[in-house]
Amino acid sequence: MRKKHRPVSAINVTPMVDVMLVLLIVFMVTAPLLTVGVPINLPKVESQSLDAQREPLEITLNENNEIFIGDEIIIFDELISKVRAVAGNNSDIRIFLRADTDINYGEVMQVLGALNTSGFLKIALVTKKPD
């Protein structure tokens, strides 16, 4: 008399784990690439990087003299009100000012001065390290 073969009712988890590991690696590689907002040509300067404990507010000036807070374009007259809305009552918020190398120095100083006279004192200018 022959034995009947019964189907195995155990679930094979290995393919699922393989797929999850591949997805984890894909997300780990792509996540840092998604953090940069407006593409600009930053100046290259030798300096030490800053340690940021909290997420800073990024203000960007592109080559067309357009001002961005994060990815949102704003006009200069709205700059301080928008920064205050984001910062709330915290004038101690860290602000990263990014400006394109082709922009006029006066435009950068105008934004920097407006932020400074409004009580925001922790402003850092973002640059690139030279190749």
In a domain, 93, yes or no: yes
In a domain, 87, yes or no: yes
Q: What CATH number has the domain bearing residue 96?
A: 3.30.420.270
Q: Is 0.75 surpassed by the pTM of this model?
A: no
List pLDDT tens digits, range 100-127: 888 888 888 988 888 888 888 888 888 7
- Tokens for 127? 């640059």
The whole-number pLDDT of residue 47 equals 62
In a domain, 68, yes or no: yes
The whole-number pLDDT of residue 20 equals 92
Range of the domain at 88: 57-125
How many domains, in total, are found in the chain?
1
**Which segments in the chain show pLDDT lower than 50?**
none
The whole-number pLDDT of residue 21 equals 92
Q: How many CB atoms lie within 10 A of CB 111?
A: 21
- Listing DSSP states for 73-125 in one string gives EE-GGGHHHHHHHHHTT-TT--EEEEE-TTS-HHHHHHHHHHHHHTT---EEE
- Tokens for 95? 């602000």
In a domain, 3, yes or no: no
In a domain, 111, yes or no: yes
